[in-house]
Amino acid sequence: MNLSDFREDYQRGALDRAALDANPLEQFEAWFREATGERSQSRWRKIGVALHKLWSAICNHRPADINAMTLATVDAAGKPSTRTVLLKTVDERGFIFFTNFDSRKGRELAENPSAALTFFWSDLERQVCVAGSVTKLLAAESENYFKTRPRGSQIGAWASRQSEIVPDRAALEAKWCELEKKFPGVVPLPPNWGGFILKPERIEFWQGRPSRLHDRFQYSLQADGSWKIERLSP
């Protein structure tokens, strides 16, 4: 399979040093709002994004989850793995997501509490890369979030022994039905399920540009808690 002809010249935006917020989390939230369409954009950017979405609709392409992010972890032997998870909160502590603590990512984060995240918003030709240390969210906060999940998802968190081998789908569905009967009312928080906080130590903002001369700016956390901003070569 030859993929050499799959090319796109990015032309929907630019990123200037003067436009960056001093706080990368504030900058991320600004970009996230633009990705969701909540923040006003320039007339030409709006037209470009609208045309991209129209073409995607014509081609029957389902829009991606805006809060989807690639999570990279490393096990004790130094072997990496990645998967897509959903960002649920970003605040002054960092980036928060939820999962099964016994899953592959949960075990790897227990062995090596460092991870990286990547967001890619094709409509805006933007990418954000985050790296830092990971800690567990307080159980009370995980429980508060768990209560907001649909009942089916709550039962699914109990039914799935995430990342373990199962004989077939029938066994998984049978377990779900068993637990639905076990919890006819409120579904409690599973003891092996909850949130993680990735505290960023490095955040990079990438804006696609023509001729592969992309704009890249990296925020690096300094010892005094401030952020150093540097332009990176594309």
Residues taking part in catalysis: 212
Answer whether 38's CB lies under 8 Å from 232's CB: no
Q: Give the pair of three-digit tokens for residue 99.
A: 């999962």
Answer whether 80's CB lies under 8 Å from 15's CB: no
The Cα–Cα gap between 27 and 32 comes to 9
The DSSP 8-state label assigned to residue 124 in this structure reads: T
The Cα–Cα gap between 234 and 52 comes to 24
Q: Give the pair of three-digit tokens for residue 143.
A: 């429980």
Q: Give the pair of three-digit tokens for residue 59.
A: 């081609």
Provide the pairing of β-strand 114-121 with 126-136: antiparallel
Residues in the chain: 234
Q: Tell me, what amino acid is at 80?
A: P
Q: Tell me, what amino acid is at 187?
A: V
The sign one gets for the Cα dihedral 147, 149, 151, 152 is negative
The Cα–Cα gap between 149 and 119 comes to 23
